[in-house]
Amino acid sequence: MNYDLSDEEQALYDTVSDFADTVVAPEAYSYDTERRLPMEIIAQMGEMGLFGLPFPKKYGGQGGDYVQLCLAVEALGRVDQSIGVTLEAGVGLGIMPIYRNGSPAQREQWLPDLIAGRALAGFGLTEARAGSDAGATETRAVLDGDDWVINGSKQFITNSGTPITSLVTITAVTGERIGRNGDAKPELSSIIVPSGTPGFTVEEPYDKVGWHTSDTHPLTLTDVRVPSSNLLGDRGRGYANFLQSLDEGRIAFAALATGAAQGCLEEALRYAKERVVFGTSIGSNQHVAFKIAKMQARVHQARLAWLDAARKMVAGKPFKLEASIAKMVAGEAAMDNARDATQVFGGYGFLNENAVARHYRDSKILEIGEGTTEVQLMIITRELGLAS
């Protein structure tokens, strides 16, 4: 496996890193304090073509691949995880399901604005009692003539309530199917619900520990009526289609976590060289230097893990195991590096205006979102043949 970046990939990473350092980072504390998604920055990301990185040029994309998307996500995650996850979720959960499973008419209607970054989309899977256990989904969709009538609710849906959100793809039970053992199982389908549809309510945003800039809402659907043509993909294939996006999304999520771990490393290294105590920099003390050395090792491991998974995915090889490993390793690296960076900064690391304090609050979700660490361990053991 070759982990080296091509000249094109390195140039992309450098360009997005410069954008992150000069445009995103200086305002990150303000946006975090205001708890708002800066639409002006999202617009600039759209103009840079970041939302179109892995999509063909015929749809307005950049003609790149998933590795390039992950490099952009990592570069943004260094300075602001909320901005990074807006890109990650906007592509992986918003655009990719329509690109992968949409009809020609659906692609023509939705992809141009989404790929250009003029619009955002979300994916509504999680509910109060359903998430990893999608079979517990309670949202129902019933055909009434040529319309689906949807009732239910969703939780923790990213990019669902921004000023430019154009749609949310939701999963709903559309009937029952007989399983192999003769038992009835819920038939889960994906349906596109445009923003502003009567009965589709985006509730107040969550008061989250971190990711204050990321747009996250609960959703309520009350007698929501959409055309039957809004079914995304085949009926009954909603969860299967989502699993494909989820496996891919875990790689991008790992890249985001790697960026967070890298950002913490950079801040701790800078401070350790600048901060002088008793006439010498704290970085010259072995206990601080060793802590930072471990941070570097975590970043290296996390980056190798997501690059390995991404290269396999792009090559058309199986990558489910590698994606779960990457997501778990990178999420833990981000959390561990955030803790250690805060310790290096001491009292200054406890101030919200400090980037490492924001990473400390933000990084915990990296061990939860896109499947918890425990879920990743379940997947890894299954892939090893140790569990059914």
370 among known catalytic residues = yes
Distance (Å) of CA 240 to CA 171, 235, 249: 11, 11, 14
Rounded to whole angstroms, the Cα distance separating 117 from 103 reads 21
Reported in sequence order, the residue ranges of the chain that DSSP labels E, i.e. its strands, are 120-124, 140-144, 147-158, 165-178, 184-194, 200-202, 216-227, 231-232, 276-277, 280-281
End-to-end CA distance of the chain: 30
Q: What angle do CA 357, 361, 366 make, to 5 degrees?
A: 130
Strands 184-194 and 231-232: antiparallel
Q: CA-CA distance, 185 to 135, in Å (whole number)? A: 8
Q: Which of 8, 108, 370, 374 is catalytic?
A: 370
* Cα distances (angstroms) measured from residue 388 to each of 186, 207, 247: 21, 38, 19
Phi, psi of 127 (to 5 degrees): -130, 180
Question: In whole angstroms, what is the distance from residue 82 CA to residue 222 CA?
Answer: 30
Active site amino acids: 370
